[in-house]
Structure 1
Amino acid sequence: MVFLLGWLRWPYALILGLLTLIGWATVSHRRTLNWPSLNRWGWLGITIVACAWVALSGLVSPFFLNADWLVRMSVLRDLTVGDWPVGYGTLDADHQNLLLRLPMGYYLVPALLGKVLGGTEAAGRWMLALWTVLGAFLFLAMTVANSQGEGRWRGLWIPLLLAVGFSGMDVIGGLVHRHGWPPTGAHIEWWAELFQYSSNTTQLFWVPNHSLPGWIAGLLIWRHREQGLSLGASALLMLGVVTWAPLVAIGLAPLLFVCSLRGQTWMGWVREWGRLDVLALLLPGFFMARFITFGVPSEAAGTLAEAGPLGPVVARLVMFSLLEWALLAWVVFRAGERSWVFWLAAAELLLLPLLRFGPGNDIVMRGGIPALTIMMCAAMTLLSQHAPKHRSFQWATWFILAAGAVTPYQEISRVLVEGDRFESQGQNFIQINGTPWHYIGELQGTWLSHVLESPKITLPELNK
């Protein structure tokens, strides 16, 4: 809603905003919220973990902020100090009427609050930190709610440990490829070079704009794996994820499609397309998809076949799959997990590395987040059980998770690394990052120029 009201001409903002509200209200009317039954100490524990986790990411000074945040802070700066829609004018004949064009769901609310609280970059940054804490709190609370464990240990602390520490066994991959034991604070997840499935802590520290919607969507699908989600709820969830992280939405789509089919026949599913909530969300969904994808070059996509000789690439893919998720999935399977969502998540994690898209092959890193969340939930379910027959599988799971925990340890320990901390120079996005296609679009000659307000040029601070 913030995006629609802030970026579109008022007739279009009114129409799409009303349709979105109708869809949201209709879905919300049919659903109830179920929070974990915790005492105040349990809620306090979740709050402390969420605050500490986000603080260690570097969003709160003086901790180290990873290099990718230079891009994100420039986005936040322009959204906070500039007028909407944020534009950069014409640079040359090949770059005319430039617009900040990216999935902005993560940034817009903090930027709006930052405007209200003084319109400074510092205000926007504090609001972004609080917004991220809220998202992390929601993820942790939902993880606890999905746990089947009883008592403080199995019902609270095991879910929280898994949420923060869940990761593939990157350190073993690095050792196998003769990278040696990593120095403290080193980023170790590119050991396979061609693809990466990031740990939860890596995702929060580097890409919370992708991880938070992916985690929450994955948890919702796991929670509703038996009864399913209505098509309206699925459409609303997909619209939200597309607004935040469209590559996550690609990985979410098959899971959400099957989840919307659960508990009904094909004809019942087809009839759901005529419901008010589904019809209301179609046009906003189409618009958001078009806005996010306009100007994306076709050469940005490819397949693994383009990465090099087939034999070494396949060997690396097999090793990558085993260490990042397949060994854990095998243990969980042997312990009795047979749900459709488990099988589909495993299939996605196997197939996603065959695709290539984005500067860092982002389709793998981001598209796999919902499926990895489901693997985490499957492991959590196994660890919450008391049956003696599962004891050996639980020990095997703990071993795999302990090996994976080296990765979040490396990410968290980076706060101790000496070096420069983030300090704004008052520069706008173009000055820092140029015109990368996944952040900047050219409105010239597109129908979106009739729907969006005229872009307002965002300048750097003159005194910097």
Structure 2
Amino acid sequence: MKKDTANEVREISPQYYSWVHILGILVLALGINVLLGIGEFKRQESDFIANNFKYYDLIQHDWPLYYPDYKVHMCYYLGYYLPVAQLAKWFSLESARYFALAWSVIGLFFVLLWISTFVKKNGILLVFFVIIFPNAWMIYALIDWIGWHREVFPHYFILINDFYLVLSKFEDNWAWAPQHTLPAVLGACFVIEAFLNKKVSRLELLLMLLATMYWSPLASIGLFPFVLVLFMKDFQTLFKQEKLSELLGMTGLVASFMPLMIYFISTEGVNSGNTGFIWQTGTSLWVIYYAIYVLANVGIWFYFIQSDSFEWSPLLYGSMFFTAILGIYRVGLYNDLNIRGVIPAFTIMSCGISVWVIYNWKKKKLGFYLLTTYIVIGGLHSIRNFGLAMLPSKPLTTIEKPFIKNYTSMLSFQESAYGDTTAIKEYCLKRGGFFDKYLLKK
């Protein structure tokens, strides 16, 4: 893509148009999805029991999905599932696994291809760094090894009573929740592109943010502050006469998505009692635990790169700041706001720091070598996980046969898995509300 004086399109190196590069990224996307269980050729993480039930229920029953045993409609962000479910309705239940694999491969292919263009050369190396980019697992493992607050750090996350602080790596996010991860990383690419191009298309960014909501409102929350900052750039020009069409277009976009917003806040989970601030966890030590989370996941990266001027610095520091503050407020039994909402910021941070490493490749500085060593050693955990995934394994359930124990539907699984009815409220439309009464058939 060469620079166009009219559109000011960011220049992209010709190497990224070659079939070798494109095919390599496609093979990588396919390999990651297969190894992480999508397509049901390998073992999947336990959350796929619920995912497979969602697929099965959508394929086998009429839409909108209604559960007569619970007398509720499903109220959930289903953008990731609906295309696969509809194709399987047309063809067969057995074909759903292949459509699910193809759908995820296409999404990851475009994400990785886009990420590779953020440097003028060594795009594959950048993709590799982003995939293996570590969280704070080494620091948590060290704390666990010396035996300090051992009960707080099982499996590389912080647990303060029932309040989770989690920053998952790329493959963990993709393995557990591609429905959240794909729109989050794609949205992060939109933000990076707008930042690097230095020309913001407000309509495109707003459409991305609103459309992301149908896949994952948590990803939309994670992307919102970045979109807001980009919107505020030259904000005063928005109200000029020549920008009237853009302003009207954005107003129309927001209006068209309003029914979807109202639908999502009509879930019974809005008042399910699993929200709260970190200082409400019942321990005065929350400050220490939160400080460990911030320093281990953000502070260490800031320490490595803050001394050098870098084109990405404003965006990078913004991602670090948002990563730190998102853990303060909890939403969901497992703090889904923190776990899923932080993915855009983590993606921007991993891309930015990896680009910094590649740009400083020839500078013989101690800080650069220390940072690269930390990333590579930390990335061995992801490499190990991919290696273990190559061993023979079978999924616990499949889309064709999601049934396990006595679970008969997605809601019955959620109710039993979490031990009470609180969890299923997040998937249920409020009874007697406007949508339930007037818009959805039973």
Give TM class, smaller chain: 0.7 to 0.9
Equivalent position to 2:35, from 45, 56, 64 = 56
Q: Report the equivalent of 2:307.
A: 334
Distance 2:358 2:395 in 1: 43
Equivalent position to 1:195, from 148, 161, 165 = 165
Instruction: Return closer, same or farther for 1:442/1:140 CA change in 2, 3 Å cut-off.
Output: closer
Q: Deviations over 1:363-383 (max 9, x none)?
A: 111111111111112112212
Confirm or deny: 8 A CA contact 2:276 2:331 kept in the other structure: yes
Give the alignment of 1:245-256 within 5 angstroms: 245-256=216-227
Superposed displacement of residue 321, structure 1: 2.0
1:447 equivalenced with 2:421 (yes/no)? no
Match of 1:405, SS?
helix
Aligned residue pairs, count: 406
1:422 equivalenced with 2:409 (yes/no)? no
Superposed displacement of residue 245, structure 1: 0.9
Equivalent position to 1:135, from 99, 107, 112 = 107
Q: Deviations over 1:171-201 (max 9, x none)?
A: 3312312389xxxxxx933256631111001
Q: Report the equivalent of 2:261.
A: 289
Instruction: Return closer, same or farther for 1:51/1:31 CA change in 2, 3 Å cut-off.
Output: farther
Superposed displacement of residue 242, structure 1: 0.7
Q: Deviations over 1:339-371 (max 9, x none)?
A: 332222121111111111111111111111111
Give the alignment of 1:65-104 within 5 angstroms: 65-89=44-68, 91=70, 96=71, 98-104=72-78
Distance 1:50 1:64 in 2: 17
Q: Report the equivalent of 1:238.
A: 209
Distance 2:74 2:125 in 1: 41
Match of 1:174, SS?
helix
Amino acid at match of 2:291: V
Confirm or deny: 8 A CA contact 2:79 2:214 kept in the other structure: yes
Superposed displacement of residue 104, structure 1: 0.7
Q: Report the equivalent of 1:23.
A: none
Confirm or deny: 8 A CA contact 1:169 1:403 kept in the other structure: no
Distance 1:339 1:266 in 2: 25
Distance 2:324 2:364 in 1: 26
Distance 1:371 1:344 in 2: 8
Amino acid at match of 2:201: S
Confirm or deny: 8 A CA contact 1:167 1:324 kept in the other structure: no
Superposed displacement of residue 214, structure 1: 0.8
Instruction: Return closer, same or farther for 1:268/1:280 CA change in 2, 3 Å cut-off.
Output: closer
Confirm or deny: 8 A CA contact 1:58 1:205 kept in the other structure: yes
Amino acid at match of 2:396: R
Instruction: Return closer, same or farther for 1:50/1:397 CA change in 2, 3 Å cut-off.
Output: same
Superposed displacement of residue 404, structure 1: 2.4
Amino acid at match of 2:188: G
Confirm or deny: 8 A CA contact 2:41 2:394 kept in the other structure: no
Confirm or deny: 8 A CA contact 2:136 2:296 kept in the other structure: yes
Confirm or deny: 8 A CA contact 1:332 1:378 kept in the other structure: no
Distance 2:263 2:235 in 1: 34
Give the alignment of 1:63-462 within 5 angstroms: 63-89=42-68, 91=70, 96=71, 98-118=72-92, 120=93, 122-148=94-120, 150=121, 154=122, 156-178=123-145, 188-190=155-157, 194-225=164-195, 227-262=198-233, 264-268=234-238, 275-294=247-266, 295-298=268-271, 299-310=273-284, 312-337=285-310, 339-385=313-359, 388-389=362-363, 391-415=365-389, 416=391, 421-423=396-398, 424-426=401-403, 427-434=408-415, 436-437=423-424, 439-449=426-436, 452-455=439-442
Match of 2:27, SS?
helix
Confirm or deny: 8 A CA contact 1:214 1:370 kept in the other structure: yes
TM-score, with normalisation over the residues of structure 2?
Answer: 0.84
Distance 2:8 2:339 in 1: 32
Distance 1:283 1:414 in 2: 48
Gaps of 5+ in 2: 1-6, 148-153, 416-420
Superposed displacement of residue 159, structure 1: 1.5
Q: Deviations over 1:2-22 (max 9, x none)?
A: xxxxxxxxxxxxxxxxxxxxx
Distance 1:354 1:242 in 2: 22
Confirm or deny: 8 A CA contact 1:231 1:273 kept in the other structure: no
Match of 1:162, SS?
helix
- Aligned-residue CA RMSD in angstroms? 2.7
Identity value in percent: 18
Instruction: Return closer, same or farther for 1:452/1:166 CA change in 2, 3 Å cut-off.
Output: farther
Amino acid at match of 2:255: L
Instruction: Return closer, same or farther for 1:309/1:431 CA change in 2, 3 Å cut-off.
Output: closer
TM-score, with normalisation over the residues of structure 1?
Answer: 0.80
Q: Report the equivalent of 2:3.
A: none
Distance 2:341 2:261 in 1: 16
Match of 1:178, SS?
helix
